[in-house]
Amino acid sequence: ATTKPEDALPKSEIIVICVPTPVDENHLPDLRPVEAACKTIARNIGKSKEGNDKKNNLDVPLIVLESTVAPGTCDEVVITILESYGAEKLSRKLKNGKDFFVAHCPERIDPGNKKFHLEDLPRVVGASSDKGLEIAYSFYSSIIKADVLKVSSLKAAEAIKIVENSFRDINIAFVNELAKSFDKLGIDITEVIKGASTKPFAFMPHWPGCGVGGHCISVDPYYLIDKAHKKGFEHEFLKLARSINNSMPAYTISRAKEALAKIGKKITDVKISVLGVAYKKNVDDPRESPAIELIKELKEIGCKVNVYDPYLPKYSTVGTLDMALKSECVILCTDHDEFTSIKPEQLKAVKVFVDGRNSIDRKMFDGLGIVYHGIGR
């Protein structure tokens, strides 16, 4: 292993790019990590061809992009940079299909999920040429146990991952909107979703919460929104879903205000503890976490806020769960196991508990004198 690309790349047969593809503050795609990786590759595979010192079994390297990108990115960005940057740095131009092949095999992983491992997840792969596709197919078939599906183009492979995550974002937005409605109607959304889930076909349960985070679901739809906009089409449905899901931290705060009003308190009158900063349970990843936005909004309205996340101590202002539970108002943002196993005797100081993940049995709060509010329950 090495951290020096000039040592590894010239002799590599397969080069996999798996770098972040975030959005900027305006929710526009930020492809700088992909662009930087492509420039590094072009500079170094070009050295190999120039020096004629390539020592591997393939005539030319296969370059695979695993990062999630908008349809057309491999053609318009990856291949363009590999060819043009090679022309700039070397005495001749690199050519797709001659000096390298390009494939796209979007990564699939569910952090913290012990059921699905990397080698057990089916993959899809598209490429810029038939030969590149066959090489990519053989490569992934050799390292995973699950099926590998060949698709017709780079664009098709790129679109598949965007659709997967946009599908989830849209469905989460739907149940988040239902949650807001059901809070007005006095209906427990968890009961409704569990009931609907008894239908053995044509229904897939999704769950409401204090927001959608992570580097995939909350980001990837923006890539398709931006790409389609540039081509003259507006993804109104995707934009609406993003807007609904982005509204959930503020909505969760409104649930805290409603609960506090029942005991004659304003939200600025009490100390608030936020449980969890990570975007999902039992992981240490805060990227795009709705908890960060929720904490920011609480502070902006003048609230006194404590934060505790056992997986992210640098974000925590208190060192233990019991210290966090000394606040009158508690807002659970991440359903870490430590939080979902809270016992009644730990809640003696708590007057209001807002369950932003609907992850705790509300019956536990009966008889404790605690006002419990969930999201849609």
Q: Which residues are catalytic?
A: 216
Contact 102, 154 (CB under 8 A): yes
Contact 312, 286 (CB under 8 A): yes
